[in-house]
Structure 1
């Protein structure tokens, strides 16, 4: 039996590139990943962000964000004219009816520009990990066009937990899961088909909501006064497996995780997540994807300075100086048994919490704004490539179509 490959990748959203666009910076970053010995590029949701900049409460679960497109006049710009490479699926007509006819050309442009980048990345041996929020905004095209798929008696939230004892009220409508199950989860399968056209693997956010989800009455402002609803469970993943021949997924199983959530994850055989910059216990599951940090957590350096150095000094074992401590930390993380390690770009640069992407539960001008001031360098690529080689994390080469 051949042992599974051990790989690594980098988490960097398109908006965090210096230009924030699908232009030369995006292609240059693919080249950098190759030089750095990486196998994966993970991004955040590619859809239209809300007024606070969050891509996790979009007006569409399908439509690409126009703000990511290449600037006019660059060689990466696509006019969207003609019929070559148009997106497929009923979602496009629904979105055009909802948002207006000019959006047709926008989505054609997004399709062509994104898939051009994806082909380039795949040809270079770099695969893309996308991100699917569980819920959609209440005023989204999806909720307005398919009202039968949502239970408007409740809104979604998060139950009180040790990290958030006050709970959270998110405000998005919860799904009417019996209705979804009755037609074989067809809306969800179309959504996943769209995302798997754009990316090679998907992270599903808030996995616990597919086992049980926290719901609040429409007029209930206090998240503590919510109740548990029943998610679709294993039948949901069976439908995905039947449609796509497998489960090319990573599930976000962070926060308040109860035995039923663990049982569902183990039953479907999909890796969950561990995040170095979130946990006090570093006994990470080897069947998880290990992240140095995420868009919702402290940066690795911020966590290390605040808590890690004092409480888990062994993570920097092998450091020969204070200057080498953080370098040893990253090298030791890459050396773990987990098949896949994802390093956030902020963590490669050793940036503190001023570089956080988001602070959950807050609405401020700093969220969703962080970006690289300049492209990552060849010296940084060579350094990471050396660490990856020592850790035995090989890049597999071009991705088969």
Structure 2
């Protein structure tokens, strides 16, 4: 049976404190999408945001960003004596402002937490057993002590603690415990929200980046698994060659994996990452799936991604291990871009759903209007694309006419063109259909989430301000979804 989902980053909800978080707006959103007939909510990674507030350059594959913690829930749990003050709602997310605002209350909540018995509960003790928790507390504490500089720029005694444990952490014990508290609250609130979604038959689709950032706990505590020098500087870095997004390619800067070392340890680095994300989400989207087959390698001295080479990854060996150890986790493959056939062969061998994007795959003049195999997910676009309305408006008049003729021909005659695209997606053969909220509401370029290969301050800052517009479409959406279930 076909399943329908909606794509919206958690942070894009109109939360009370300047950003979408684990509070009331998220619970309300789940209620609305359930009434609208949806089965899934796809979000972006929730890990600590890195450079440019990108969720794809996190400080950890395991930790969560405290910016998503709901202050209202802290109050309801008795960790704040009074509700946080309301702040002026801005047009877009102002990350630095929100982070400082919430930190003030998180520190008050921590002091209250220390006075309660909650830090002696089984739930808290169980959380402390996760391998990443203490080391992340140390990592982020030392990072703050060094003005947020990357770990490879810290004084040697701090930088080497992860290896020799010689640096005395006693003076930092309370700061480390604060960071652990923050992670505990993040985990507790997120799992409560996820449980509510699941109770309402909504599955959460999460997203895990292929690479990790150089300035991350992942690299700091697993230096042997990366192509870096003894000083922690990258020798080889990740990216993609020139494509439709960029004439010079994309130079991401993430360190390249040392696959031989990872294989020697039976892929434990990858299995642990994926297993933990399998706890956080019902379905895990594997970003940049093509790199499990071949990946673009750039010398760190190069300023662009033009010069590089393709290297082979041990994709089959890794996914055999994943299939054996993580059989209960559903993975989907982000297999977009210019990709060699072997990537699809790897995907299909392990029966993973790939992605079909209407903006790039619609064929308005052929009998086969879109190639969308059943074992796939059809999107109008992703967080990296224009909204469907922005894309449509940029087409030539002939292209627009061809698409409108196609919709007429196959009997799609809604009042709005964006509703036609929604129904078209629901009619395709894909088992899953996931539509960005912006495309459901017909929003324009102002609502785009991210423009790849740019450092635009608008990236990742979109806010969805009115639930009422979505509520007004509940009946229409449910009718289209239910009509196309089979």
Is the TM value for this pair above 0.5? yes
Equivalent residue for 2:14? 18
List gaps (5 residues or longer) in structure 2. Answer: 80-108, 142-175, 229-234, 364-368
Equivalent residue for 2:292? 210
Equivalent residue for 1:387? 480
Q: C-alpha separation between the residues in 2 aligned to 1:99 and 1:331? A: 46
1:285 and 2:372 aligned: yes
Deviation at 1:165, TM superposition (A): 3.8
Taking a change above 3 Å as real, the CA distance of residues 174 and 370 of structure 1, as seen in their structure-2 partners, is: same
Equivalent residue for 2:43? 43
Q: Report which of the two structures shows the higher radius of gyration computed on alpha carbons.
A: 2
Which of 186, 197, 200 does residue 121 from structure 1 map onto? 197
Q: 3-state DSSP class of the match of 1:289?
A: strand
Equivalent residue for 1:132? 208
Q: Could you list the per-position Cα deviations for residues 283-318 of structure 1 after superposition, in whole angstroms to 9, with x for gaps in the alignment? A: 323132111111101111111222262453345333
Which of 441, 446, 450 does residue 358 from structure 1 map onto? 450
Equivalent residue for 1:231? 313
1:300 and 2:388 aligned: yes
Which moves more between the two structures, 175-184 or 109-118? 175-184
Is the Cα–Cα contact under 8 Å of residues 241 and 247 in structure 1 kept in the other structure? no
Taking a change above 3 Å as real, the CA distance of residues 84 and 223 of structure 1, as seen in their structure-2 partners, is: same
Taking a change above 3 Å as real, the CA distance of residues 315 and 93 of structure 1, as seen in their structure-2 partners, is: farther
Number of residues of Structure 1 aligned to a counterpart in Structure 2: 388
RMSD of aligned alpha carbons: 1.9
Equivalent residue for 1:309? 400
Q: C-alpha separation between the residues in 1 aligned to 2:440 and 2:122? A: 39
Which moves more between the two structures, 49-58 or 67-76? 67-76
Q: C-alpha separation between the residues in 2 aligned to 1:130 and 1:243? A: 19
Which of 162, 178, 187 does residue 269 from structure 2 map onto? 187
TM-score by length of 2: 0.76
Q: C-alpha separation between the residues in 1 aligned to 2:342 and 2:424? A: 32
Is the Cα–Cα contact under 8 Å of residues 237 and 254 in structure 2 kept in the other structure? yes
Q: Could you list the per-position Cα deviations for residues 38-89 of structure 1 after superposition, in whole angstroms to 9, with x for gaps in the alignment? A: 1101100011112411100011111001000101454378756423434342
Q: Could you list the per-position Cα deviations for residues 355-395 of structure 1 after superposition, in whole angstroms to 9, with x for gaps in the alignment? A: 100000100111101121122443222221111111126xx
Deviation at 1:328, TM superposition (A): 2.3
List gaps (5 residues or longer) in structure 1. Answer: 394-401
Equivalent residue for 1:6? 2
Deviation at 1:169, TM superposition (A): 0.8
Q: Could you list the per-position Cα deviations for residues 18-53 of structure 1 after superposition, in whole angstroms to 9, with x for gaps in the alignment? A: 111110001111111110111101100011112411
Which of 111, 132, 135 does residue 94 from structure 1 map onto? 135
Which moves more between the two structures, 342-351 or 371-380? 371-380
1:222 and 2:304 aligned: yes
Equivalent residue for 2:465? 373
Which of 321, 333, 345 does residue 437 from structure 2 map onto? 345
Equivalent residue for 1:326? 418
Taking a change above 3 Å as real, the CA distance of residues 76 and 169 of structure 1, as seen in their structure-2 partners, is: farther
Q: 3-state DSSP class of the match of 1:270?
A: coil
TM-score by length of 1: 0.92
Deviation at 1:325, TM superposition (A): 3.1
Q: C-alpha separation between the residues in 1 aligned to 2:404 and 2:188? A: 48
